[in-house]
Structure 1
Amino acid sequence: MNPSNIVLSLSGVHTHIGAYHILHGVDFDVPAGQVTMLLGRNGAGKTTTLRTIMGLWAAQQGSIRFKGEAIGGPGVKLGTPDIAQRGIAYVPESMGIFSDLTVKENLLLAARGAQTVDDLDTKRLEWIFGLFPALKKFWLYPAGKLSGGQKQMLAVARAIVEPRELLLIDEPSKGLAPAIIQNLIGALRELKATHTTILLVEQNFAMAKALGDQVAVMDDGRVVHRGAMAELAQDEALQQRLLGLSLAAHQ
């Protein structure tokens, strides 16, 4: 892999949360303009990895570099807002939307330079409405009244309301109906076509196969496999060994 094409690089990352040692030397790279899947069984450390990248938890050892600049690791004093300012957006599993605010107000809050809707990039807003038509329909609804799928769409829309170089998305399909998942896959494909780089944690393996270019598989706080997603998708024995199940069973 060409080092100049790497947007995000984790090297030897260890994270402790209280008395617990969660990440044990995590190593992987995220190439520009691609979707990198972060897979693994529950409790493998995937969410901790995303939160460590964002500075929500500190990396006690190792380094996290974004476009060549250290953003995490011993001696790095960047807070989460500083990391976000560099062009990284995070969509947590909890979605993190403000339930009492409207769809419009949620998007305005996420647009750092906008005070009113008139300050938003009209073309970009229409593009987001094209990806997620429900958001236009429910523009003035409190976000808490949206369905689960609509809330997930809003969470992703907030992350992309301004151009971002890297999106970290944690299990976007969790609890969603199959038809909504297909819509989400289509939206993420369109986003990928704009050369946005995505690091995606996902338990839905059909979605992983549909979207992923690269894959890193975690187990017990370590990366135990790195490679092309297409190769993992075609190797059922490897899927069974790494993940305990087969992609073929999740078509």
Structure 2
Amino acid sequence: MNAPLSPLLSLEDVHTHIGAYHILHGVDLDVPRGQLTMLLGRNGAGKTTTLRTIMGLWQASQGRVSFDGQDLTGKSTPDVAALGIAYVPENMGIFADLSVKENMLLAARSARRIEDIDTTRLEWIFSLFPAIKKFWLHPAGKLSGGQKQMLAVSRAIVEPRKLLLIDEPSKGLAPAIIANMIAAFRELKQTDTTILLVEQNFNFARQLGDTVAVMDDGKVVHRGSMAELAEDEALQTRLLGLSLTAHQ
């Protein structure tokens, strides 16, 4: 039996307040190194707040966030990003008035000119998302919703990252675009990139997840393998209120 993978990211008893609201109520979460962990749960369960707390966009009021042996608690967002963590928010975070090329350059922290970006990596991104190459000089704001999501993910991976935090990448996308996104994430998984991904599309989750954590009311209420959750309809119904098989 293989030993469990060591976590790259750990949250221990993390509480987050936003103004007067207590959103996270003691989150315990391990994200194994080199795996894709799905973070599932009903709307309002605290999934996005968890990602934003990891990134330092909101500060934990209690508990500890550790990444690759370092304590992230209290660090600013730029300091967190500098450690090799990229965040793709639900609103994608792209710059609508800039071209696709300019968006990519801004995301490449070590590049001052487009020529400074690793050509091999750029070609790899083009192979994942051909629309990025096709619309390279177009304003990002003119892209379709699916193309904007591809750009958001491309920006996150323009340089090697240790950890990707991605919030609902399939939301509002057509089935063909979702299939493209699944294929791209499968390829990303082969690069040993660790991914924590919030998702509402359970078929998407089933196809990609290695491990899964389910949140409810600001806490993680279930942890385990994605395959086991995908096979257990009673558990899906209890945790999520519906079954994966009903939403394929």
TM-score when scaled to structure 1? Answer: 0.97
Q: How much has 1:194 moved relative to structure 2?
A: 0.4
Quick one: percent identity of the two aligned structures?
Answer: 76
* Whole-angstrom distance in 1 between the partners of 2:4 and 2:60: 22
Whether 2:40 is the aligned partner of 1:35: answer no
Distance 1:208 1:232 in 2: 10
Matched, 1:207 2:207: no
Per the alignment, residue 15 of structure 1 pairs with 16
Q: Which amino acid aligns with 1:164?
A: R
**1:112-151 equivalence runs, <5 A:** 112-151=109-148
Long gaps (5+) in structure 2: none
Please point out which of 82, 86, 91 is paired with 2:88: 91
Partner of 2:55: 54
Aligned residue pair count:
247
| Uncovered stretches (5+) of structure 1, i.e. residues with no partner | none
Are 1:171 and 2:168 matched, yes or no?
A: yes
Q: Deviations over 1:154-203 (max 9, x none)?
A: 00000000000000000000000011000000001100100000000000
2:225 is aligned with 1:239: no
Determine the structure 2 residue equivalent to 1:221. 218
Q: How many Å separate the matches in 2 of 1:232 and 1:153?
A: 28
Query: Is 2:187 aligned against 1:190?
Result: yes
Instruction: Report the Cα offset of residue 19 of structure 1.
Output: 0.3
CA 1:176–1:30: 2 relative to 1, 3 Å: same
Q: SS in structure 1 opposite 2:124?
A: helix
Provide the residue aligned with 2:103 in structure 1: 106
Q: CA deviation at 1:3?
A: 7.4
Structure 1 residue 117, shift from structure 2 partner: 1.2
TM-score (norm 2): 0.98
Partner Cα separation in structure 1 for residue 215 and residue 5 of structure 2: 25
Cα distance in 1, alignment partners of residues 145 and 246 from structure 2: 25
Offset of 1:4 from its aligned partner? 6.6
CA RMSD across the alignment: 1.0
Structure 2 equivalent of residue 157 of structure 1: 154
Sort the Cα spacing of 1:4 and 1:243 in 2 relative to 1 into closer, same or farther, 3 A: closer
Change (3 A) 1:4 1:238: closer
How far residue 2 of structure 1 moved from its aligned partner, in angstroms, is 5.5
